[in-house]
Structure 1
Amino acid sequence: MGIKVHGHPFSIAAQRVLLCLAEKGLEYESVHIDLTTGQQKEEPFISLNPFGQVPGFEDGDLKLFESRAITHYIAHAYADKGTPLIDHDVKKMAIIGVWIEVESQKFEAAGSKLNFEIVVKPLKGMTPDEDVAEQLKGQLGKVLDVYEARLAESKYLGGDNYSLADLHHIPVINSLLKTKYKTVFEERPHVSAWVANILGRPATQKVLGGPKA
Protein backbone atom coordinates (compact mmCIF):
# COMPACT_ATOMS: atom_id res chain seq x y z
CA MET A 1 0.00 0.00 0.00
CA GLY A 2 2.95 2.32 0.67
CA ILE A 3 3.19 5.78 2.15
CA LYS A 4 0.70 8.51 1.27
CA VAL A 5 0.91 12.16 2.31
CA HIS A 6 -2.30 14.14 2.05
CA GLY A 7 -1.50 17.83 2.00
CA HIS A 8 -0.73 21.03 0.17
CA PRO A 9 2.74 22.19 -0.98
CA PHE A 10 2.39 25.56 0.80
CA SER A 11 1.45 23.99 4.13
CA ILE A 12 4.16 24.49 6.76
CA ALA A 13 3.05 21.33 8.57
CA ALA A 14 2.97 19.22 5.40
CA GLN A 15 6.45 20.45 4.52
CA ARG A 16 7.80 19.03 7.80
CA VAL A 17 6.62 15.58 6.78
CA LEU A 18 7.99 15.88 3.25
CA LEU A 19 11.37 17.00 4.62
CA CYS A 20 11.50 13.98 6.89
CA LEU A 21 10.65 11.62 4.04
CA ALA A 22 13.32 13.25 1.87
CA GLU A 23 15.97 12.84 4.58
CA LYS A 24 15.04 9.17 4.76
CA GLY A 25 15.04 8.76 1.00
CA LEU A 26 11.57 7.19 1.10
CA GLU A 27 9.15 7.00 -1.80
CA TYR A 28 5.60 8.19 -1.23
CA GLU A 29 2.40 9.14 -2.98
CA SER A 30 1.37 12.78 -2.70
CA VAL A 31 -2.37 13.37 -2.44
CA HIS A 32 -3.23 17.03 -3.11
CA ILE A 33 -5.76 18.61 -0.76
CA ASP A 34 -7.26 21.85 -2.08
CA LEU A 35 -7.33 24.18 0.92
CA THR A 36 -8.98 26.97 -1.08
CA THR A 37 -12.16 24.93 -1.50
CA GLY A 38 -12.17 23.53 2.04
CA GLN A 39 -11.44 19.99 0.91
CA GLN A 40 -9.64 19.40 4.21
CA LYS A 41 -12.96 19.85 6.04
CA GLU A 42 -14.80 17.25 3.98
CA GLU A 43 -14.83 13.51 3.44
CA PRO A 44 -12.77 11.54 2.80
CA PHE A 45 -10.02 13.69 4.35
CA ILE A 46 -11.94 14.53 7.53
CA SER A 47 -11.93 10.82 8.41
CA LEU A 48 -8.14 10.89 8.24
CA ASN A 49 -7.77 14.07 10.32
CA PRO A 50 -10.89 14.95 12.33
CA PHE A 51 -9.55 18.48 12.93
CA GLY A 52 -9.65 19.18 9.21
CA GLN A 53 -6.03 20.27 8.88
CA VAL A 54 -3.26 19.00 6.62
CA PRO A 55 -1.29 16.87 6.57
CA GLY A 56 -2.81 13.44 6.77
CA PHE A 57 -0.53 10.44 6.56
CA GLU A 58 -0.89 6.78 5.71
CA ASP A 59 1.65 3.99 5.84
CA GLY A 60 -0.17 0.81 4.91
CA ASP A 61 -3.02 0.44 7.39
CA LEU A 62 -1.56 3.06 9.76
CA LYS A 63 -3.24 6.47 9.62
CA LEU A 64 -1.76 9.52 11.40
CA PHE A 65 -2.17 13.27 11.65
CA GLU A 66 -0.17 16.06 13.35
CA SER A 67 3.10 16.68 11.53
CA ARG A 68 5.48 16.21 14.45
CA ALA A 69 3.89 12.91 15.43
CA ILE A 70 4.28 11.80 11.82
CA THR A 71 7.97 12.73 11.68
CA HIS A 72 8.59 10.88 14.94
CA TYR A 73 6.96 7.80 13.46
CA ILE A 74 9.00 8.01 10.26
CA ALA A 75 12.26 8.52 12.16
CA HIS A 76 11.64 5.46 14.35
CA ALA A 77 9.94 3.16 11.84
CA TYR A 78 12.62 3.78 9.22
CA ALA A 79 15.58 4.22 11.56
CA ASP A 80 17.80 2.19 9.23
CA LYS A 81 17.12 4.44 6.24
CA GLY A 82 18.83 7.69 5.25
CA THR A 83 19.59 10.33 7.88
CA PRO A 84 19.08 8.99 11.45
CA LEU A 85 17.21 12.11 12.83
CA ILE A 86 17.01 10.47 16.27
CA ASP A 87 19.61 8.93 18.59
CA HIS A 88 19.44 5.55 20.26
CA ASP A 89 21.56 6.79 23.18
CA VAL A 90 18.99 7.65 25.84
CA LYS A 91 20.76 10.74 27.15
CA LYS A 92 21.48 12.14 23.69
CA MET A 93 17.89 11.52 22.66
CA ALA A 94 16.71 13.29 25.80
CA ILE A 95 18.62 16.42 24.73
CA ILE A 96 17.17 16.20 21.23
CA GLY A 97 13.76 15.84 22.87
CA VAL A 98 14.26 19.04 24.82
CA TRP A 99 14.85 21.04 21.64
CA ILE A 100 11.99 19.33 19.85
CA GLU A 101 9.79 20.66 22.65
CA VAL A 102 11.40 24.10 22.46
CA GLU A 103 10.51 24.30 18.77
CA SER A 104 6.90 23.30 19.33
CA GLN A 105 6.35 25.39 22.47
CA LYS A 106 8.59 28.46 22.06
CA PHE A 107 9.70 28.92 18.45
CA GLU A 108 6.35 27.93 16.93
CA ALA A 109 4.42 30.35 19.14
CA ALA A 110 6.19 33.36 17.66
CA GLY A 111 7.51 32.10 14.33
CA SER A 112 4.31 30.64 12.92
CA LYS A 113 2.25 33.61 14.06
CA LEU A 114 4.71 35.99 12.42
CA ASN A 115 4.60 33.92 9.24
CA PHE A 116 0.81 34.05 9.27
CA GLU A 117 0.79 37.80 9.79
CA ILE A 118 3.19 38.71 6.99
CA VAL A 119 3.04 35.80 4.54
CA VAL A 120 -0.32 34.05 4.85
CA LYS A 121 -2.52 37.10 5.34
CA PRO A 122 -1.59 38.68 1.98
CA LEU A 123 -2.26 35.35 0.26
CA LYS A 124 -5.73 35.42 1.76
CA GLY A 125 -6.31 39.00 0.65
CA MET A 126 -5.93 40.30 4.21
CA THR A 127 -3.81 43.24 5.35
CA PRO A 128 -0.90 42.44 7.69
CA ASP A 129 -0.81 44.32 10.99
CA GLU A 130 2.71 45.78 11.14
CA ASP A 131 2.47 46.51 14.87
CA VAL A 132 1.55 42.90 15.60
CA ALA A 133 4.33 41.70 13.30
CA GLU A 134 6.91 43.81 15.13
CA GLN A 135 5.76 42.45 18.48
CA LEU A 136 6.05 38.91 17.17
CA LYS A 137 9.50 39.66 15.77
CA GLY A 138 10.54 40.76 19.25
CA GLN A 139 9.16 37.57 20.78
CA LEU A 140 10.94 35.46 18.17
CA GLY A 141 14.16 37.38 18.78
CA LYS A 142 14.09 36.46 22.47
CA VAL A 143 13.75 32.79 21.55
CA LEU A 144 16.59 33.07 19.05
CA ASP A 145 18.81 34.67 21.70
CA VAL A 146 18.60 31.36 23.54
CA TYR A 147 19.35 29.53 20.28
CA GLU A 148 22.37 31.77 19.68
CA ALA A 149 23.86 30.72 23.03
CA ARG A 150 23.09 27.06 22.40
CA LEU A 151 24.53 27.07 18.88
CA ALA A 152 27.70 28.76 20.09
CA GLU A 153 28.54 25.47 21.79
CA SER A 154 26.78 22.93 19.56
CA LYS A 155 26.63 22.54 15.76
CA TYR A 156 22.97 21.56 15.91
CA LEU A 157 20.30 22.17 18.52
CA GLY A 158 20.27 18.56 19.70
CA GLY A 159 24.02 18.05 19.62
CA ASP A 160 26.65 17.18 17.03
CA ASN A 161 24.22 15.60 14.58
CA TYR A 162 21.28 16.90 12.56
CA SER A 163 18.00 15.71 14.02
CA LEU A 164 14.25 16.25 14.14
CA ALA A 165 14.94 19.16 16.49
CA ASP A 166 16.48 21.05 13.57
CA LEU A 167 14.24 19.72 10.80
CA HIS A 168 11.01 20.89 12.45
CA HIS A 169 12.16 24.53 12.19
CA ILE A 170 12.87 24.55 8.47
CA PRO A 171 9.48 25.39 6.89
CA VAL A 172 8.88 28.49 9.02
CA ILE A 173 12.46 29.71 8.67
CA ASN A 174 12.40 29.15 4.92
CA SER A 175 9.26 31.24 4.64
CA LEU A 176 10.43 34.08 6.88
CA LEU A 177 13.75 34.36 5.04
CA LYS A 178 11.83 35.61 2.02
CA THR A 179 10.59 38.62 3.99
CA LYS A 180 12.13 41.69 5.59
CA TYR A 181 12.01 39.85 8.91
CA LYS A 182 14.89 37.62 7.80
CA THR A 183 17.10 39.97 9.81
CA VAL A 184 15.93 38.31 13.02
CA PHE A 185 18.04 35.31 11.93
CA GLU A 186 20.83 37.14 10.11
CA GLU A 187 21.80 39.39 13.02
CA ARG A 188 22.70 36.39 15.18
CA PRO A 189 25.86 34.81 13.71
CA HIS A 190 25.54 31.31 15.13
CA VAL A 191 21.83 31.17 14.29
CA SER A 192 22.61 32.46 10.80
CA ALA A 193 25.24 29.75 10.23
CA TRP A 194 22.85 27.07 11.50
CA VAL A 195 20.09 28.33 9.21
CA ALA A 196 22.41 28.25 6.19
CA ASN A 197 23.45 24.72 7.13
CA ILE A 198 19.99 23.19 7.53
CA LEU A 199 18.47 25.00 4.55
CA GLY A 200 21.39 23.99 2.37
CA ARG A 201 20.87 20.28 2.96
CA PRO A 202 20.08 18.23 -0.17
CA ALA A 203 16.76 17.07 1.29
CA THR A 204 15.75 20.65 2.04
CA GLN A 205 16.72 21.73 -1.46
CA LYS A 206 14.72 18.86 -2.91
CA VAL A 207 11.54 19.72 -1.00
CA LEU A 208 11.68 23.51 -0.77
CA GLY A 209 14.24 24.53 -3.36
CA GLY A 210 16.34 26.38 -0.79
CA PRO A 211 15.78 29.71 0.99
CA LYS A 212 15.46 31.77 -2.19
CA ALA A 213 12.84 29.56 -3.85
Structure 2
Amino acid sequence: MATPVKVYGPTLSTAVSRVLACLLEKNVQFQLIPVNMAKGEHKKPDYLKIQPFGQVPAYQDEDITLFESRSINRYICDKYGSQGNKGLYGTNPLEKASIDQWIEAEGQSFNPPSSVLVFQLAFAPRMKIKQDENLIRQNEEKLLDVYEKRLGDSQYLAGDEFTLADLSHLPNIQYLVNGTDRAELFTSRENVGRWWGDISNRESWKKVVEMQTSPPPS
Protein backbone atom coordinates (compact mmCIF):
# COMPACT_ATOMS: atom_id res chain seq x y z
CA MET A 1 0.00 0.00 0.00
CA ALA A 2 1.33 3.46 -0.92
CA THR A 3 2.44 5.72 1.90
CA PRO A 4 -0.06 8.56 2.35
CA VAL A 5 1.20 11.99 1.36
CA LYS A 6 1.35 14.59 4.13
CA VAL A 7 -0.36 17.96 4.10
CA TYR A 8 0.61 20.41 6.84
CA GLY A 9 -1.78 23.16 7.87
CA PRO A 10 -5.22 23.99 9.27
CA THR A 11 -8.27 22.98 7.27
CA LEU A 12 -9.67 26.52 7.56
CA SER A 13 -6.78 27.84 5.46
CA THR A 14 -7.96 28.54 1.93
CA ALA A 15 -4.65 27.29 0.51
CA VAL A 16 -4.75 24.06 2.53
CA SER A 17 -8.35 23.37 1.55
CA ARG A 18 -7.42 23.88 -2.13
CA VAL A 19 -4.87 21.04 -1.86
CA LEU A 20 -7.24 18.78 0.07
CA ALA A 21 -9.90 19.16 -2.62
CA CYS A 22 -7.39 18.16 -5.29
CA LEU A 23 -6.24 15.10 -3.33
CA LEU A 24 -9.85 13.99 -2.91
CA GLU A 25 -10.60 14.51 -6.61
CA LYS A 26 -7.58 12.35 -7.46
CA ASN A 27 -8.32 9.68 -4.83
CA VAL A 28 -4.88 10.14 -3.26
CA GLN A 29 -4.47 8.95 0.33
CA PHE A 30 -3.25 11.72 2.60
CA GLN A 31 -2.45 12.51 6.20
CA LEU A 32 -3.44 15.94 7.41
CA ILE A 33 -1.04 17.32 10.01
CA PRO A 34 -2.45 20.35 11.83
CA VAL A 35 -0.23 23.42 12.24
CA ASN A 36 -1.27 25.74 15.06
CA MET A 37 -0.44 29.12 13.60
CA ALA A 38 -1.73 30.97 16.67
CA LYS A 39 1.06 29.29 18.63
CA GLY A 40 3.63 30.05 15.94
CA GLU A 41 4.21 26.45 14.89
CA HIS A 42 4.61 27.59 11.27
CA LYS A 43 7.71 29.59 12.26
CA LYS A 44 9.55 26.83 14.10
CA PRO A 45 12.84 25.56 12.62
CA ASP A 46 11.58 22.04 11.86
CA TYR A 47 8.62 23.42 9.92
CA LEU A 48 10.73 25.98 8.08
CA LYS A 49 12.79 23.11 6.69
CA ILE A 50 9.79 22.03 4.63
CA GLN A 51 8.15 25.46 4.13
CA PRO A 52 10.89 28.10 4.08
CA PHE A 53 8.43 31.02 4.03
CA GLY A 54 6.66 29.83 7.19
CA GLN A 55 3.26 29.61 5.56
CA VAL A 56 0.76 26.84 4.85
CA PRO A 57 0.42 24.40 3.29
CA ALA A 58 3.55 22.34 3.22
CA TYR A 59 3.40 19.07 1.31
CA GLN A 60 5.48 15.90 1.58
CA ASP A 61 5.36 12.93 -0.77
CA GLU A 62 8.05 10.51 0.42
CA ASP A 63 11.29 12.49 -0.12
CA ILE A 64 9.59 15.29 -2.13
CA THR A 65 8.72 18.53 -0.35
CA LEU A 66 6.61 21.26 -1.95
CA PHE A 67 4.83 24.47 -1.01
CA GLU A 68 2.35 26.83 -2.74
CA SER A 69 -1.05 25.25 -3.20
CA ARG A 70 -1.46 25.73 -6.95
CA SER A 71 1.94 24.20 -7.70
CA ILE A 72 1.20 21.33 -5.33
CA ASN A 73 -2.05 20.65 -7.17
CA ARG A 74 -0.33 20.56 -10.56
CA TYR A 75 2.19 18.09 -9.18
CA ILE A 76 -0.56 15.90 -7.72
CA CYS A 77 -2.40 15.82 -11.04
CA ASP A 78 0.74 14.95 -13.01
CA LYS A 79 2.00 12.27 -10.62
CA TYR A 80 -1.40 10.64 -10.10
CA GLY A 81 -2.71 11.24 -13.60
CA SER A 82 -4.11 7.74 -14.04
CA GLN A 83 -6.35 7.77 -10.99
CA GLY A 84 -9.38 9.69 -9.77
CA ASN A 85 -10.54 12.57 -11.96
CA LYS A 86 -8.25 11.99 -14.96
CA GLY A 87 -9.16 15.26 -16.68
CA LEU A 88 -8.63 17.51 -13.68
CA TYR A 89 -5.50 19.05 -15.23
CA GLY A 90 -6.33 18.30 -18.86
CA THR A 91 -5.19 15.50 -21.13
CA ASN A 92 -3.31 17.45 -23.81
CA PRO A 93 -1.17 20.63 -24.02
CA LEU A 94 -4.02 22.86 -25.20
CA GLU A 95 -6.32 21.79 -22.37
CA LYS A 96 -3.53 22.32 -19.84
CA ALA A 97 -2.80 25.78 -21.23
CA SER A 98 -6.47 26.74 -20.93
CA ILE A 99 -6.58 25.45 -17.35
CA ASP A 100 -3.31 27.19 -16.49
CA GLN A 101 -4.48 30.55 -17.74
CA TRP A 102 -7.50 30.44 -15.42
CA ILE A 103 -5.40 29.21 -12.49
CA GLU A 104 -3.15 32.21 -13.11
CA ALA A 105 -6.20 34.47 -13.37
CA GLU A 106 -7.40 33.14 -10.03
CA GLY A 107 -4.01 33.69 -8.39
CA GLN A 108 -3.34 37.14 -9.86
CA SER A 109 -6.74 38.74 -10.51
CA PHE A 110 -9.31 36.93 -8.35
CA ASN A 111 -7.42 35.92 -5.22
CA PRO A 112 -6.15 39.40 -4.20
CA PRO A 113 -9.56 41.14 -4.02
CA SER A 114 -11.41 38.05 -2.78
CA SER A 115 -8.81 37.51 -0.03
CA VAL A 116 -9.30 41.11 1.11
CA LEU A 117 -13.04 40.49 1.24
CA VAL A 118 -12.63 37.16 3.08
CA PHE A 119 -10.55 38.89 5.75
CA GLN A 120 -12.73 41.99 6.02
CA LEU A 121 -16.07 40.21 5.93
CA ALA A 122 -15.41 36.80 7.49
CA PHE A 123 -12.42 37.14 9.80
CA ALA A 124 -12.33 40.79 10.96
CA PRO A 125 -15.64 40.44 12.86
CA ARG A 126 -14.40 37.28 14.59
CA MET A 127 -11.16 39.03 15.53
CA LYS A 128 -13.08 42.15 16.63
CA ILE A 129 -11.25 44.28 14.06
CA LYS A 130 -13.09 47.24 12.57
CA GLN A 131 -14.11 46.57 8.96
CA ASP A 132 -12.88 48.96 6.27
CA GLU A 133 -15.99 49.71 4.22
CA ASN A 134 -14.05 51.59 1.54
CA LEU A 135 -11.72 48.64 1.07
CA ILE A 136 -14.69 46.26 0.90
CA ARG A 137 -16.43 48.37 -1.75
CA GLN A 138 -13.28 48.76 -3.86
CA ASN A 139 -12.63 45.03 -3.92
CA GLU A 140 -16.24 44.03 -4.56
CA GLU A 141 -16.08 46.01 -7.79
CA LYS A 142 -13.06 44.05 -9.06
CA LEU A 143 -14.41 40.54 -8.88
CA LEU A 144 -16.84 39.03 -11.32
CA ASP A 145 -17.72 40.73 -14.61
CA VAL A 146 -15.16 38.71 -16.59
CA TYR A 147 -16.36 35.49 -14.95
CA GLU A 148 -20.01 36.14 -15.77
CA LYS A 149 -19.13 36.58 -19.43
CA ARG A 150 -16.84 33.55 -19.62
CA LEU A 151 -19.34 31.27 -17.89
CA GLY A 152 -21.99 32.36 -20.36
CA ASP A 153 -19.84 30.80 -23.09
CA SER A 154 -18.86 27.54 -21.37
CA GLN A 155 -20.03 25.43 -18.46
CA TYR A 156 -16.75 25.74 -16.60
CA LEU A 157 -13.85 28.16 -16.77
CA ALA A 158 -11.55 26.08 -18.98
CA GLY A 159 -14.25 24.38 -21.04
CA ASP A 160 -17.07 21.94 -20.49
CA GLU A 161 -15.44 19.85 -17.75
CA PHE A 162 -14.60 20.64 -14.13
CA THR A 163 -10.85 21.20 -13.75
CA LEU A 164 -8.20 22.68 -11.46
CA ALA A 165 -9.23 26.07 -12.87
CA ASP A 166 -12.60 25.80 -11.12
CA LEU A 167 -11.27 24.00 -8.05
CA SER A 168 -8.78 26.79 -7.37
CA HIS A 169 -11.63 29.26 -6.83
CA LEU A 170 -13.57 27.15 -4.33
CA PRO A 171 -11.97 28.16 -0.99
CA ASN A 172 -12.40 31.94 -1.13
CA ILE A 173 -15.88 31.78 -2.64
CA GLN A 174 -16.91 29.33 0.09
CA TYR A 175 -16.09 31.90 2.75
CA LEU A 176 -17.76 34.76 0.90
CA VAL A 177 -20.98 32.87 0.12
CA ASN A 178 -21.38 30.98 3.39
CA GLY A 179 -19.46 33.04 5.93
CA THR A 180 -20.49 36.61 5.13
CA ASP A 181 -23.54 38.67 4.19
CA ARG A 182 -22.29 39.15 0.60
CA ALA A 183 -23.44 35.86 -0.95
CA GLU A 184 -25.39 37.81 -3.57
CA LEU A 185 -22.10 38.88 -5.16
CA PHE A 186 -22.10 35.38 -6.63
CA THR A 187 -25.62 34.01 -6.36
CA SER A 188 -27.29 37.01 -8.00
CA ARG A 189 -25.36 36.53 -11.24
CA GLU A 190 -26.96 34.01 -13.58
CA ASN A 191 -23.84 32.28 -14.89
CA VAL A 192 -21.61 32.66 -11.85
CA GLY A 193 -24.44 31.50 -9.59
CA ARG A 194 -25.05 28.43 -11.73
CA TRP A 195 -21.32 27.64 -11.78
CA TRP A 196 -20.94 28.05 -8.02
CA GLY A 197 -23.94 25.82 -7.33
CA ASP A 198 -22.35 23.15 -9.51
CA ILE A 199 -18.76 23.19 -8.25
CA SER A 200 -19.62 23.65 -4.57
CA ASN A 201 -21.73 20.48 -4.64
CA ARG A 202 -18.92 18.20 -5.78
CA GLU A 203 -18.34 15.37 -3.31
CA SER A 204 -14.68 16.32 -2.93
CA TRP A 205 -15.51 19.85 -1.84
CA LYS A 206 -18.33 18.77 0.45
CA LYS A 207 -15.81 16.53 2.23
CA VAL A 208 -13.41 19.45 2.63
CA VAL A 209 -16.17 21.61 4.12
CA GLU A 210 -17.03 18.77 6.49
CA MET A 211 -13.38 18.62 7.55
CA GLN A 212 -13.45 22.37 8.20
CA THR A 213 -16.51 22.16 10.40
CA SER A 214 -15.20 19.12 12.30
CA PRO A 215 -11.42 19.70 12.36
CA PRO A 216 -9.12 17.13 13.92
CA PRO A 217 -7.74 17.98 17.37
CA SER A 218 -4.47 19.93 17.27
TM-score, normalised via structure 2 length? 0.91
Q: CA deviation at 1:153?
A: 1.2
Counterpart residue number, 1:8: 10
Report the secondary structure of 1:44's partner residue.
Answer: helix
Q: Which moves more between the two structures, 93-102 or 119-128?
A: 119-128
Q: Distance in 2 between matches of 1:177 and 1:194?
A: 13
Deviations 1:184-204 (CA, angstroms, capped at 9, x unpaired): 111210000000000000101
Of Structure 1 and Structure 2, the greater helix share is in 1
Counterpart residue number, 1:113: 116
Q: Distance in 2 between matches of 1:9 and 1:65?
A: 16
Counterpart residue number, 1:136: 139
User: 5 Å matches for 1:117-196?
Assistant: 117-140=120-143, 144-178=144-178, 179-196=180-197
Report the secondary structure of 1:148's partner residue.
Answer: helix
Report the secondary structure of 1:48's partner residue.
Answer: coil
Q: Distance in 2 between matches of 1:125 and 1:45?
A: 29
Counterpart residue number, 2:28: 26
Q: Distance in 2 between matches of 1:173 and 1:206?
A: 16
Q: Which moves more between the two structures, 85-94 or 11-20?
A: 85-94
Q: Distance in 2 between matches of 1:101 and 1:126?
A: 31
Counterpart residue number, 2:37: 35
Counterpart residue number, 2:66: 64
Structure 1 unaligned spans of 5+ = none
Q: CA deviation at 1:44?
A: 1.4
Report the secondary structure of 1:181's partner residue.
Answer: coil
Tell me the percent identity.
37
- 1:157/1:166 contact within 8 Å kept: yes
- 1:21/1:74 contact within 8 Å kept: yes
Structure 2 unaligned spans of 5+ = none
Report the secondary structure of 2:65's partner residue.
Answer: strand
TM-score, normalised via structure 1 length? 0.93
Q: Distance in 2 between matches of 1:10 and 1:153?
A: 33
Deviations 1:40-75 (CA, angstroms, capped at 9, x unpaired): 011211111111101000000000011111001001
Q: Distance in 1 between matches of 2:132 and 2:113?
A: 15
Runs of 4+ in structure 1 displaced over 3 angstroms?
none
- 1:16/1:67 contact within 8 Å kept: yes
Q: CA deviation at 1:107?
A: 0.5
Counterpart residue number, 1:199: 200
Counterpart residue number, 1:50: 52
Asked if residue 96 in structure 1 is aligned to residue 99 in structure 2, the reply is: yes
TM-align CA RMSD: 1.7
Q: CA deviation at 1:92?
A: 2.0
Q: Distance in 1 between matches of 2:93 and 2:65?
A: 28
Q: Distance in 2 between matches of 1:147 and 1:187?
A: 13
Q: CA deviation at 1:125?
A: 3.2
Report the secondary structure of 2:66's partner residue.
Answer: strand
